[in-house]
Amino acid sequence: MAFKNFNIGLLGVYGFALFAPISIAFSQMSMGIAIIGWILVTLQKRQFQWKKTPLDIPIMVYVISQIIAVLNSQNTGIALRSWINTDWFILFYYSVINLVDDENDFKWIIILLAISGTISGVYGLFQHFIGFDLIRGDIYHWPIGNFYRSTGFFKLPLTYGGIQLSLFLFLLPFILLKPNLINKKIFFIILTILFLSVISSYARSSWLGLGAFFVLLIFFLEKKQILYLLGGLFLVFGLVYILHPDLLFKAGLFSIFDVSETAPYNNLVRLKLWQSSWLMIKDNWLFGIGYSDFAEIMKNYKVPFDYKGMNDPHNTYLKVMCLSGIFGGMAFIYLWIRDLITKYLTFRHIQLKDLTPWISGSIGSFFAVFALLVAGITQEYYHDAETAELWWFIAALGMIGVLKKRK
């Protein structure tokens, strides 16, 4: 590793890259170390370490909208703690941007993410085929058809799918680097494991984000490359149909479009939750209900249906608007659309021969955030701490590439 100008904050960043796909406890400890390290650098240099980014104003507007939501809550104290638990990742975002400046440090962060993501992916695939969770000793591990839903080191397949999706898409552009950070054949195996782990989660929201990525990819490819992509996808679907049909049926891909009450995973639940959430937004349209007891308030807007849970609407945008109204919802959308546009403008004219690790990070960040935003239509990823912390981390790594190119 590069130890020039090394400080405890970088140790926290390395720790997060290593633990994010494996342990929420150790990853958040690493985040705390990174933030403390950032503060210590400021005290040491007696000058506030702050690199201006194109997201500063969007983040400020979003934070203001959330502060208003806190003040609008039934219990301000509880609401404040709830909001801090959701958005303290923004501090980590800025600490990463201000701590990571050396290219060797950046490369090691990518390598650590690849290693930890692969460990998580291998374990998830073990769960998928064997059906045993070594960590929890669960023999009947989320059975589905003849196989099992992967959860990796986490409790829920939805969380696991979101994390592995983010890692796969973020790391994908790095395989194009010359020279590569990792042997190209090994990197290909890593990406394959990450891709398969997304599939094995049966997290259909993550599949939706992955599908949206492939559609988006068409706009970046030449006609010949598009034909190769379509041919490859056709081959994959053919092999899946022959070797592993449960991925298409048995609550697999085709179940996304099944809205019958007998569907393996009842999509009507989500539709009814969306309907209830919209009724809540209509009554609290400007600033939302605040960071109050969402599930309790949701009962007042329940439409006739046998709900299985009302803790969230399974939609990122509806959840943000329920909590902080149209103001918060628009601020959230503005923030992440600005992030995508900024990164796209950074790499749109880059030739393959001019690709650097920094720019690869911006491209990967663009892909990962785009997919999470699409996946957020059917799943609430932003308020899921395990996924959200990695979301902000990847956003920060991509923003470093933006700032490097502007120098």
pLDDT for residue 246: 64
Structural domain contains residue 13: yes
Residue 104: its pLDDT value, please?
A: 92
What is the model's pLDDT at position 3?
Answer: 45
Does 3 fall in a domain? no
Q: Classify residue 2: in a domain, yes or no.
A: no
Instruction: Provide the whole-model pTM.
Output: 0.91
Whether 167 is covered by a domain: the verdict is: yes
Residues 120 and 251: their CA atoms lie apart, in Å, by 23
Q: For the chain, how many structural domains are there in total? A: 1
Residue 355's SS3 state is coil
Q: What is the pLDDT of residue 1?
A: 46
Q: Is residue 139 part of a domain?
A: yes
* Contact indicator for 173, 30 with CB cutoff of 8 Å: no
Please indicate, yes or no, if residue 127 is contained in any of the structural domains: yes
Domain limits for position 303: 8-406
Integer Cα distance of 120 and 152 in angstroms:
6
pLDDT in tens, the chain (407 residues): 444 556 889 999 999 999 999 999 999 999 999 999 998 888 877 666 688 999 999 999 999 999 999 998 888 888 898 899 889 999 999 999 999 999 999 999 999 999 999 999 999 999 988 888 888 777 667 777 778 889 999 988 999 999 999 999 999 999 887 767 888 889 999 999 999 999 889 888 999 999 999 899 888 877 777 777 777 777 776 666 556 666 655 565 556 655 555 555 567 778 888 888 899 999 988 888 888 777 778 888 888 766 666 677 889 999 999 999 999 999 999 999 999 999 999 998 888 778 889 999 999 999 999 999 999 998 989 999 999 999 999 999 999 999 998 76
| Residue 1: inside a domain | no
